[in-house]
Amino acid sequence: MRRPLLLIAILAIAAVPAWLWLNPPDLRLAIDHRSRESALLYPREATGRRCAGVVVASLPELTAPEHREALRTQLEQGLMAPENRVEVGFVPSSPTEATDTPAWIIPGRAILQLRGVPHGYLLVHASPAQDLLRIARRRRWLSSGLIAATRTATTATVAIGETDDGSHLVATLAFAYRTGEEAETALQELMQKQGDFEALGFAARPGTDRITRQTKLLVIRFDIETDIVQRALRNR
């Protein structure tokens, strides 16, 4: 019996890192608790990425005007930092009501989301989601159809990386909802606009509606040519 027991023990020990990899714990960031958006920047992954500079330079738009200059300096230093991870908080101009899931707590599923993009170097988490959506509407970062469909989302998380050859920026947006029905309704609204270039309609794989309903998450992936991203962000 010793060998089977030893085998079971080895398998159990080996399963712990795998479980933690697939189920990472929530992260509590050392940032201002008034923040309604937070970001994790990974300088090592960002090194050599074509869009990292312009993407990171656009982040101060998420904070109040009086904090932007200091944040730009922090982000510039962060890109050159030897640390594996830089934590950033975005404080609004006027205080807002506290939320059940504050922005300085990054849910474990967001870490999985970042792992899902190639060479992921930036994760932005917003709680509540409406503040981020309002800025995205003003800066024209997202289409009107997408913003309308996600109006009832409670939180929003953006993961950004780039392909191996640097030809495309890859971004995933995850919107959390209170119920599976709300998430599925948002998915259906996006699908109704399929083929509408102005509204940026989307196509979904079979079974997406079931997964969206079960997880209460609407996840969208963008693959955008890096040349387009650079031109767009430099002009805004």
Residue 8 lies in a domain: no
pLDDT confidence band for 66 (50 / 70 / 90)? confident
> Which residues constitute the domain of residue 205?
29-234
Residue 175 lies in a domain: yes
pLDDT confidence band for 21 (50 / 70 / 90)? very low
Residue 1 lies in a domain: no
Q: pTM value? A: 0.82
User: What is the model's pLDDT at position 102?
Assistant: 72
Residue 171 lies in a domain: yes
The DSSP element (H or E) to which 150 belongs, if any, is: none
Question: Does the pLDDT of residue 135 top 90, yes or no?
Answer: no
Residue 5 lies in a domain: no
Residue 122 lies in a domain: yes
Residues, the chain:
236
Give the chain's domain count: 1
Identify whether 128 is preceded by a cis peptide bond (ω within 30 of 0). Answer: yes
User: What is the model's pLDDT at position 2?
Assistant: 47
Question: Does the pLDDT of residue 1 top 60, yes or no?
Answer: no
Residues 6+ apart with CB under 8 A from 49: 119, 121, 161, 162, 166
Determine phi and psi for 25, rounding to 5 degrees.
Answer: -75, 165
Question: Does the pLDDT of residue 16 top 50, yes or no?
Answer: no
Residue with more model confidence, 141 or 197: 141
CA 16 – CA 30 distance, rounded (Å): 27
Residue 198 lies in a domain: yes
**Dihedral of alpha carbons 24, 134, 86, 119, sign:** positive
Mean of per-residue pLDDT scores for the chain? 80
Residue 145 lies in a domain: yes
Question: Does the pLDDT of residue 143 top 80, yes or no?
Answer: no
Q: Which of 222, 109, 208, 217 is nearest to 161 (CA)?
A: 222
